[in-house]
Amino acid sequence: MENYTKEQLQQIQESYRLIGTSARKKINENMSPEEQERIAYNLRLAAAKAKYPKPKPKPKQFKPKPYQLLDYNKAKKIFWFKYLNPEGDFVIDNENKTILQELVKWSIRDKSCRFDLEKGIFLAGDVGCGKTRLMKALSEFTKSENLCTAFDYITEEEMRRQIKETAGSAFYGKLICGQMCYDDIGTNPKLKIYGEDIHLVNDIIKVRYNKWNGNRLPSHFTSNITKEELRSDNTKYDLRSTDRLKQMCNVYFMKGNSRR
């Protein structure tokens, strides 16, 4: 009985009902009390299963593959020569050497990485310091190498365009699904759709925090925010958003002047 489908159980109930009371009495007369109880139990079970179907399974937790997806030295060379610096114009110095190493280690899930591997990356720094180029190259690297840490990359400007074109529906679609990097958030945090004001930055952070808090799906961000702004309630981020960023991301402030 437990292997029957919902439809089969309903058919059993209907067949038993259609034979009528007198026929059921005759059948019961030829049965032992144990057999009658067994049939009654099966009918109650069929009724319960038909009325209360099995609950939907809970969404699966995000489970990355085992650690050390690639050899570190090999991964560093691929990332450097193929994606970050194919034209030889990116300069490594004491101000960006550390973050380069840690990003590669994070992407291949190297246990020696200083970052928390269960969290995303939040890169902040002055305009032109290289954070956008780093995360864009890391996105291309992780996707091309088919790593479980692979993520898509989108700018705030492109987000705003897609949301306006779709009257807001894009916000609930691909913009918040999967592993994502949101570039330059906070440049223009507010957005108006059909006369309704939307705080794009805070809303994105809220949705992505729920995804991280629910199944540890990582999110990545870049921003021009300063350390002082990250500690205060300002027009770009409210205090709740900055607190969520610190919980779900490894926050790193890049130093140095513009490299453009």
Q: Are 182 and 221 in contact (CB under 8 A)?
A: yes
Position 198 scores a pLDDT of: 66
- Region of 130 (left: φ > 0; alpha: ψ -120 to 50; beta: rest) is left
Position 44 scores a pLDDT of: 73
Termini Cα distance of the chain? 72
Q: What are phi and psi of 190, to 5 degrees?
A: -100, 150
Domain with CATH 3.40.50.300 in the chain: 72-253
Position 163 scores a pLDDT of: 76
3-state secondary structure the chain: CCCCCHHHHHHHHHHHHHCCHHHHHHHHHCCCHHHHHHHHHHHHHHHHHHHCCCCCCCCCCCCCCCCCCCCHHHHHHHHHHHHHCCCCCCCCCCCCHHHHHHHHHHHCCCCCCCCCCCCEEEEECCCCCCHHHHHHHHHHHHHHCCCCCCCEEEEHHHHHHHHHHCCCHHHHCHHHCCCEEEECCCCCCEEEECCEEEEHHHHHHHHHHHHHHHHCCCEEEEECCCHHHHCCCCCCCCHHHHHHHHHHEEEEECCCCCCC
Position 21 scores a pLDDT of: 61
Position 7 scores a pLDDT of: 72
Position 33 scores a pLDDT of: 77
Position 189 scores a pLDDT of: 59
Position 25 scores a pLDDT of: 64
> Running along the chain, 260 residues long, what does each successive block of 10 average in pLDDT?
64 65 63 75 71 64 76 94 89 86 95 94 88 94 93 87 73 78 78 61 87 89 85 74 91 77
Q: Which residues pair with residue 88 across a beta bridge?
A: none
Burial class (CB in 10 A: 0-12, 13-18, 19+), 222: buried
Q: Are 105 and 67 in contact (CB under 8 A)?
A: no
Record the pTM. Answer: 0.71
Thinking of the domain 72-253, which architecture would CATH place it in? 3-Layer(aba) Sandwich (3.40)
Position 167 scores a pLDDT of: 66
Q: What are phi and psi of 226, to 5 degrees?
A: -95, 170
